[in-house]
Structure 1
Amino acid sequence: MSCEIFREALSARIDSEQGPLPDDQVDRHLATCQACRGWFDQSRLLRRSMLVRSAPEVPDLTALILENSPPPPREKWGLRVALGVVGLVQCGLAFAQLLGVETGTHGGHGDAAAGHLLNEGAAWNLAIGIGLLWAAVRTKAAAGQLPMITGFVLVLSAVSASDLLGGRVTTARLVTHVFLVIGLALLFAVYRQDRKHSRPGPLVGDALGTDEQIELTVDGSLALAPEDGHDRRARRRPTGHAA
């Protein structure tokens, strides 16, 4: 049998394809034919040289990026401390209500249903205080608490105004709700601060004080990419969705 048919089978083996001859027959021929062994070795080296190449050299831009990148924003503890203080005050007011301290409402406390409603309100105020304390410790929790506490403050404001006009609550009692409004404002401020602090750092173009895309030129220096008339930021996509 001619060596050409074996070399055709060896070529198919290099390309991970099915050859015209069985593998065991090709292996027996390779063991006895030095010419085909040399041809097979050279063919594999040639194919490897076509597939595997050295990576192009990329200049080290670490020093340039670190030099032009702004420092990370410093976290402001004042808002978190203030939120924690308001949370403690809210918890104190809730405990005072649970212990039966005068809260500024009119009417007796002998009715069992009315007493239970007061306890429910105290438990809710205590939960709000604990939530504010937790948001002061873990600022990322502020985002989840904003919708709930905002809705509570809006409804409470409307109900309190109605009760005040109807003479069902004193001004002293309404003053205690001021801490809840302050807590909501601080909660929103902490949420904005955490969102700004957690924002990813600027790109190289932003670090250099420009709004342009930075690219490497052929000689390894930095240059601005050509303007295409569209907003570069609007075209950004998550890395997992990129082609």
Structure 2
Amino acid sequence: MKCETCREALSARLDGETEPAPPEVVDRHVAGCAACRSWLSRAERLHRTLLLRPAPPVPDLTAVILERTPAPPSEGWPARIALALVAIAQLGLAFAQLLGVEDHTAGHGTESLIGHLSHESSAWNLAVGVGLGWAAFRTKAASGQLPALTGFVALLLALSAGDLVTGQVTAGRVLTHGLVVAGLLLLYVVNRQHRLRNRPSPATTADHPGSHSAETGHETGEAPERPRQHRGFRRPASRHVA
């Protein structure tokens, strides 16, 4: 038996592991090899030292860590529930408008045009209600609805104010647009809460490509090798990648 194999078996024996060689063969080698007996003696002393040495005292930092750890952001359920209720009310308004409009498909006069415009308005109200409900369920979808809904509400408020001043509509009719205004405000709140929940941690920010830690190596201080940039159009490997 070689000394390397014997010492590997002795190390496994000290650690309580399975020896790679029969124990009687290892003992017979140790009995006839002074170098391995000396190595075993030193290994046993080191093993006893490591087992009997007490752990160094350390301070209890639990309270300090908990105090400095920021509280996790809330899920924003009140705003999401309010947005869902506004979406349900908006859907109810759209269905009521659809069911209350008479069908004037026989003629092509003013009544038919008014009926068609009412159908378009109902379809838009229905789409807004579906969008608000989806944003309450999937908060990341709120940001995609903000540009279109903001432009619609801004123009709607301006036109409604002009119609109210000229007496073309009543104040009660204008107040029915309060649902979409409330939905827009709640959409901004839900979007902000979603961004706060998904804000990168300081550790992630430190590894951002624009930070110093990503520009240079943590230990060597050398700039890491940048990946090659493929010029031109790269065909995606699958529709999922696309």
| Residue-by-residue CA offset, 1:26-72 (whole Å, 9 max, x unaligned) | xxxxxxxxxxxxxxxxxxxxxxxxxxxxxxxxxxxxx99x7654343
Residue 180 of structure 1 aligns with which residue?
180
Q: Which whole-Å CA distance do the structure 1 matches of 2:163 and 2:80 have between them?
A: 33
Residue 135 of structure 1 aligns with which residue?
135
Q: Would you say the 8 A contact 1:69–1:202 is kept in 2?
A: no
State the Cα distance separating 1:183 from its structure 2 match.
0.8
Q: Which whole-Å CA distance do the structure 2 matches of 1:70 and 1:237 have between them?
A: 24
State the Cα distance separating 1:160 from its structure 2 match.
0.8
Residue 122 of structure 2 aligns with which residue?
122
Residue 190 of structure 1 aligns with which residue?
190
Q: Would you say the 8 A contact 2:90–2:129 is kept in 1?
A: yes
1:146 paired with 2:146, answer yes
Give percent identity, aligned residues only.
50
Residue 236 of structure 1 aligns with which residue?
211
Q: 1:238 to 1:199 in 2, by over 3 A?
A: farther
Higher relative contact order (CA 8 A, sep 6+): 1
1:155 paired with 2:130, answer no
Q: 1:126 to 1:239 in 2, by over 3 A?
A: farther
| Residue-by-residue CA offset, 1:68-105 (whole Å, 9 max, x unaligned) | 54343231200000000011111111111111179xxx
Q: 1:201 to 1:121 in 2, by over 3 A?
A: same
**Runs of 5+ in structure 1 lacking a partner?**
1-62, 103-108, 207-212, 214-232
Q: Which whole-Å CA distance do the structure 2 matches of 1:146 and 1:79 have between them?
A: 16
Aligned partner letter, 2:142: A
Residue 29 of structure 1 aligns with which residue?
none
**Runs of 5+ in structure 2 lacking a partner?**
1-60, 103-108, 217-222, 225-242
State the Cα distance separating 1:148 from its structure 2 match.
0.5
State the Cα distance separating 1:234 from its structure 2 match.
11
Q: 1:136 to 1:169 in 2, by over 3 A?
A: same
Equivalent residue runs for 1:33-52 within 5 Å: none
Q: Would you say the 8 A contact 1:84–1:132 is kept in 2?
A: yes
Instruction: Kindly report the root-mean-square deviation, in angstroms, between the aligned alpha carbons of the 2 structures.
Output: 3.5
Aligned partner letter, 2:130: I
Q: Which whole-Å CA distance do the structure 2 matches of 1:122 and 1:159 have between them?
A: 18
Q: Which whole-Å CA distance do the structure 2 matches of 1:234 and 1:111 have between them?
A: 62
